[in-house]
Amino acid sequence: MSEVIVITSGKGGVGKTTTTANLGVGLAMQGKKVALVDTDTGLRNLDLLLGLERRIVYTLVDVVQKRVGYGQALVRHKKYENLLLLPTSQVADKTAIEPEQMLELTQVMRNEFDYILVDCPAGIEQGFQTAIIGADRAIVVTMPEVAAVRDADKIIGRLQAENKDSHLVVNRIRPQMVKDGTMLDMTSINDILSIPCIGQVPDDEKVVDSANRGIPVVEWDDSVAGQAYRNIVRRICGEDVPFQTFETDGWFTRLRKKLFSHH
């Protein structure tokens, strides 16, 4: 059985592409055959986060315009050979791909892959319509910030209008701020938005470090964000995995922050 999942958010900069890269590698680590499709035409970055930026020859635009078959445009991951990236063009714009062309492509690719993850651009314009059209379900990425939650709600409304089953990922949670009452937690975001949560990812410096290297953090055993992504992967595969509780700062760290963070 094959599944097409779109990763979307509304607001930019909340971690759609990071989530796509991590879930893709995580599913590949589970032995699934995975394709990652970047639809953020003109602003592609999925290649960079996967360390595949120097291997791109053809793009999604070449494929939908029938210059090459999709197999020729796929870039194989260096470590996981069951993970393939279909990059998009860095020069074309969002109008280069029509929703119907994307629908046709995902239908064909279903024959070859267990999971097809579609990285959606920010916004609610044509790029969004193109990204979601072929998807069975959606993962909406948001952050514990008012603007990100509001934009997520807008996206959820659009997804519900298209009858897409949607789940929420709350990204970049800072446990100490949640404990101090200065940041929304997963439960209250869940209460505000109308869809179930499939994951909460703590803010982790290793995410930046891993992006620098082009190795998604899901591969790193000692990363708390990596653990959160591994849990989401298991939930996508149908396992019932309890949500983690995150460690907060000890008394010494709190005292140090208090003394050295005055404005």
Helix 16-29 × helix 224-236 angle, to 10°: 70
The window from 83-91, 174-182, 204-212, 226-234 that contacts other proteins (CB under 8 A) reads: 174-182
Q: How far is the CB of 184 from other proteins (least distance, A)?
A: 5
- HSE (side-chain half, CA atoms, 13 Å) at 220: 19
Work out how close the CB of 162 gets to other proteins at its nearest, in angstroms, rounded to a whole number: 15
Question: What does the alpha-carbon distance between residue 105 and residue 184 come to, in Å, rounded to a whole number?
Answer: 39
Cα dihedral 108, 119, 222, 210 sign: positive
User: From CA 229, how far away is CA 243, in angstroms rounded?
Assistant: 11
The size of the chain, in residues, is 263
Of the pair 163, 212, the CB lying nearest other proteins is at 163
- Which C-beta is closer to other proteins: that of 213 or that of 257? 257
- Is residue 159 at the binding interface for other proteins, with CB under 8 A as the rule? no
Site for other proteins in 175-194 (CB under 8 A): 178, 181-185, 188, 191-192
Beta strand 137-142 with 3-8 is parallel
Binding range to other proteins, per CB under 8 A, among 71-79, 102-110, 150-158, 222-230? 150-158
Q: Which is nearer to other proteins, 103 or 177 (CB)?
A: 177
Smallest gap from residue 129 Cβ to other proteins (A) = 17
Distance CA 261, CA 154 (A): 36
Distance CA 255, CA 251 (A): 6
Contact string 79-118 vs other proteins (x = CB under 8 A)? ----------------------------------------
Both tokens assigned to 61:
């635009």
Residues engaged in binding other proteins (CB under 8 A): 146, 149-150, 153-154, 157, 178, 181-185, 188, 191-192, 258, 262-263
